[in-house]
Every structure is written in structure tokens, then in C-alpha cells.
Structure 1
Amino acid sequence: MSKTILYARVSTTEQTSEHQLEQAQQVGFQIDDVVTDHGTSGVTVKLADREGGKRLFDMLREGDTLVVRWVDRLGRNYQDVTDTIREFINRGVTVKTVINGMVFDGTTKDPTQKAIRDALIGFMAAMAEAQAEATKEAQRAGIAHHRANSPEKFKGRKPAFDRASFEQVTALLDAGQGHSAIAKATGVNRNAVIRIAQDPAKAEAALAKWGL
């Protein structure tokens, strides 16, 4: 007996699988099963390599229908998405999207119709990848903006000591002085002295980040 299966890939910023199921049902799909991948990249991880994707490949049989909100749920890599949809079509699986009601199957034998179908698959897959690239570029631009306007966010906490104090502390540490004695002698907070003692390279890197 054929089944209608919804595949929902959910990242930290995407809709929930429950929302994607609700959307599918609202446009008339009768869903028999839901397969979900949570927090998995659609750019770097192929569908066949995801936990839910592997299950999907095992489940789908000839006559089944695969439903996705849009092709970007299958992935955001052009080659992977086109290969995946064609693999399912060759198995006799019909792929349908909730958005725009697209239908991809192997019923047509007309070469022109097949060419149109394949071109549309390629176009939608390319759009999914382009959107992913646009999102990454926007994120990079946002980070660059905040780095320039809120440098303290990226530098971490400003050190409680300056370069001269740091060098005094390290010299006294090398001389075998205790943490409390060094704090008293240099005026550097005892906890800061301990941090310098535990990881002097990290302390020096923090100074460099702040230009101290």
C-alpha cells in the first residue's frame, strides 16, 4: 500500500516540523508518516548522509509520495537536490511541494515534458543553493558590522591588567613568588594573577586583542 511521507528538515532558524506538517495538511495532504532531521545543514550534509534522510531512502517505495514544504528542505546544494529528486523519480516516487504545489514524477514519457520537468528541478535546486549563499553572505556582513561597531563583543572581556603589569607578574612567577605576594606587589587582582599563571599565552593574546 502506497504512503505519503512528509520530510521536514529543521535548522535552528527554520519552522518546526509540527508547523511544516500543519502547512501540508492545510493544503490537503493526508500524511501517513513524518521523517525529520533537526539541526542538520542542508548545504554541507547530503540528504543520504543525514539520519532522517537515510531513513527516508529506506522507506520510500514505488507508488509513494514524498512531500516537502519546498525543495530547500531536501537540501541547499544544487547537485545533491537534483540527484535526490531524480533518484526518487526513478524509483517511481512522486515528489510534491507544499509551496506552489509543484509535482515531480516519472509519468511523462514525452521528451519535451521531461526536459521541462528536469529544467524546473534544476532551477528550484539552484534557487535553494543561491538562497543559502545569500544567507551566509548576510551573516558575514552582519558579523563584520558588529565587529566594527561592537569590538568588545568579539574581543572578550578586557584584561584587568596592562602590558607592564603582565610582564611584572610573569617575571615574579618565574622567580617563584606566590600568587598573593605577586598581587600585593603589582596591584593586579589575585584571580588575574592566577589566570596569567595558568595560561600566560592566553593572557598575552587578550592584551593583543585589546591593543594593550
Structure 2
Amino acid sequence: MRQIGYTRVSTASQDAQLQLDALIDAGVQKRDVFADVTSGSKTAIERPGMTKLLEYAETGDTVIVWRIDRLGRSLIDVLNTVELLRGRGVHVRSLSDGIDPATSTGRLMLHMLATLAEYERELIVERVNAGIAAARESGTRFGRPRVNPAIIAEKLALVAEARSRGRTAAEAAALVGWSRATLYRHQADAKSKASSF
């Protein structure tokens, strides 16, 4: 059972020395510390240091961080990382937050984090739905933009003319800026509209 350290700073100008010193004071060997210098936009599993840590850690090991927020860019990311590690039998301990799942207080803190993360997820969904509703009310249309049927008919005529001169379907479609699949779709639409009259 090893103690594995993890440090993260957002930019190269920030210094992880405070985190590193705390980990070494807690008994982590310097060779067992993994580090990331990365912006907050990447989730934990997208970071090279965390990827190496996940490959290195084994069941029974403990990952130690200076603060729990070093594990992720958001509460949801932190919780996902903790759950990923715990799912592999790896313990997590945060020095300054007092989060240690081996203790009842640590487990309580993790449950509180999980509740807050769920709340954060629900808030994000509510904000997205409110934004979509507001955009619809102001006239924003979602989905594929409407295409003028006259332009489609004109392009189909150009494609038909090119095909009559020996061009392949792909070549003829490319002349009007379509893929072969788009050409076939528009031809099928035109045929079904013609047969419905």
C-alpha cells in the first residue's frame, strides 16, 4: 500500500511547491508525486499527470492531495475523479480539507460533496433549459437551417445536366457543393414530393 501524491496548478507561472511540501510532510515519497500544469477546462482524466497516476495506482494505494479541489475543475469533476479512484480500490485523502474516506467524517464529507455535485448538475440543466426557452421566445430557431426549395431545384437541375454528360454522382454533387449522400437525400425528397401530387 503506497501513498501517491498529486499536485495541480492552472498555469506555468503558478508554483506547486506548497502542495509538494505538504505531500512530502505527509509521508509521500517525491518519486510518487504526479503533477499537472493545466487550465481548468480539462477534466481530470484528460490531464497527462492524472492519466499516469491512474496507470500507476493499484488497489489499496492512497492518493493524497493538498486540497480536494486539486482533483478536478468543478465539484462534479472532483467527485467523478474520487469515484473513479475508489472504484479501483484506491483511497483518497485530502490534507487541508480533512477528507479521508477511511474515516466516518471523511465519508460524510464525500456524501456532502456528492449532494452538492448533484445540485450543481441540476442547476446547469435548469440554466441550459432556461436559455433555450429564452432564445426560442426571441425567435431563435434551432436545428438545420431551412433551405430555399427553389435553390434545391436549381441545384438538382445542374446535377442532372452534369450526370447526362457522364459525370459520376459524387462529381456532380461536388459541383453544387453537396456530398453524394446529400444529393441522394434531395433527390429522394423531390421524388416523394412529386409522387404526393
* TM-score normalised to structure 1 length: 0.47
| CA–CA distance in structure 1, aligned partners of residues 28 and 107 of structure 2 | 30
C-alpha RMSD of matched pairs (Å): 3.0
- Matches of residues 12-161 of structure 1 in structure 2 within 5 Å? 12=11, 16-26=15-25, 28-31=26-29, 33-41=32-40, 44-105=41-102, 116=108, 118-122=110-114
Cα-to-partner distance string for 1:57-106 (whole Å, 9 max, x where unaligned): 1111101010111111111222221111012112111101110332025x
Q: Percent identity?
A: 30
Does structure 1 conserve the Cα–Cα contact (< 8 Å) formed by 2:68 and 2:94? yes
**Which runs of 5 or more structure 2 residues have no equivalent in the other structure?**
121-197
Cα-to-partner distance string for 1:37-70 (whole Å, 9 max, x where unaligned): 11332xx211111111111111111010101111
| CA–CA distance in structure 2, aligned partners of residues 114 and 23 of structure 1 | 19
Does structure 2 conserve the Cα–Cα contact (< 8 Å) formed by 1:8 and 1:35? yes
Cα-to-partner distance string for 1:1-45 (whole Å, 9 max, x where unaligned): x2211110112388523321112233x33335111111332xx21
**Which runs of 5 or more structure 1 residues have no equivalent in the other structure?**
130-212
Does structure 2 conserve the Cα–Cα contact (< 8 Å) formed by 1:35 and 1:52? yes
Does structure 2 conserve the Cα–Cα contact (< 8 Å) formed by 1:9 and 1:40? no
Amino acid at match of 1:22: D
Amino acid at match of 2:11: T
| CA–CA distance in structure 2, aligned partners of residues 37 and 14 of structure 1 | 13
Displacement of 1:118 after TM fit?
3.8
CA distance 1:39–1:117, shift in 2 (3 Å):
closer
* TM-score normalised to structure 2 length: 0.50
